[in-house]
Amino acid sequence: MDNILVVGASGTVGLELVRILKSKGHNVIHATSKVEDLKPNQVHLNVVTKVGLKNAFEGVDKAFFLSPPGYANQHELLIPLIEQAKINKLKKVVLMTAMGANAVDSAPMRMAEVYLEKSGLQYNIIRPNWFMQNFNTFWLQGILSQNKIFLPVGKAKGSFIDARDISAVAANLLENDKFNNQDFDLTGNDVLDHDQVAQVLSEVTGSKISFQDITSNEMLSGLLGAGLPKPYAEFLIMILGFFKLGYAERVTENVEKILGRKPIAFKQYAKDYKSSWVK
């Protein structure tokens, strides 16, 4: 079995990825920015300052990378990871960016993708669409406080993907070489606007949840008020603008291609996370 370094091991995708890999017998090394009280399966790695970079890769066979939330300069965080993987001659790297990251070569995430593609490493790139789990994390406060989803996206639809499917895809790609050196846009099968999302959440929870379209400026003010750095808040407004223009509607068959099953349906996600919205 392999020694697999997971960057973002405590995040929405990382937690489930770690669980899957461990269940299959792999030794999973959790990258963490913590310095003190490290557990035996943890290694200190600060992707922002690069402290711990070299040591984190010692004895590692394969790795999963993503850029932590809160930063707009994702390439400056990801490229050093890829370079260290190259130095240590890892057998495989799986990089997670986001659907649409490859639309413009000058985009930070695309710069990291290109660096990996040209690195000589065996790799996969996965680009998930908007997470279903955003509704029980980032957009949760409005639902709990006012029974409303507040977003500047109008009637646009998205093929939301369950983060558990992303983790399962990443684990599969790390385990085998069948799809080496390919990139995959990952989506769910359900294409919903936010009124339809609210309807599903209402049905599952028994509460009346609705969607309220807001302006980009209102969203930006809310993000800044929540303490997000301005560059990252502006980045989120930009990609929400792409959602409003319809770029998140596309459906791919890549989850089924890789996993041999259909993606998790939005209603199933809502049932599984029901307790998040029940007051």
For residue 36, what are the contacts with CB-CB under 8 A and spacing of at least 6?
none
**Quick check: is 109 in a domain?**
yes
**Quick check: is 271 in a domain?**
no
For residue 72, the model assigns a pLDDT of 83
pLDDT digits (tens, 9 = 90+) for 116-159: 999 999 999 999 999 999 999 999 999 999 999 999 999 999 99
- Give the CATH number, domain containing residue 21: 3.40.50.720
**Quick check: is 177 in a domain?**
yes
7, 65 in Cβ contact below 8 A?
A: yes
Nearest alpha carbon to residue 251 among 188, 162, 203, 170: 188
Domain span including residue 30? 3-128+162-186+250-260
Question: How many Cβ atoms are within 10 Å of 186's Cβ, its own excluded?
Answer: 22
**Quick check: is 273 in a domain?**
no
Nearest alpha carbon to residue 17 among 62, 53, 55, 48: 62
Nearest alpha carbon to residue 140 among 205, 192, 187: 205
**Quick check: is 81 in a domain?**
yes
Report the number of distinct structural domains present in the chain.
1
**Quick check: is 55 in a domain?**
yes
Percent of the chain whose pLDDT exceeds 90: 89
**Quick check: is 154 in a domain?**
no
Checking if the pLDDT of 71 tops 90, the result is no
Flag the least confident range among 28-37, 144-153, 245-254. 28-37
For residue 70, the model assigns a pLDDT of 81
Using a cut of 0.85, tell me whether the model's pTM lies above it. Answer: yes
What's the rounded Cα separation, in Å, for the pair 179 and 94? 11
**Quick check: is 56 in a domain?**
yes
186, 172 in Cβ contact below 8 A?
A: no
Flag the least confident range among 80-84, 112-116, 224-228. 224-228
Strand partners for 228? none
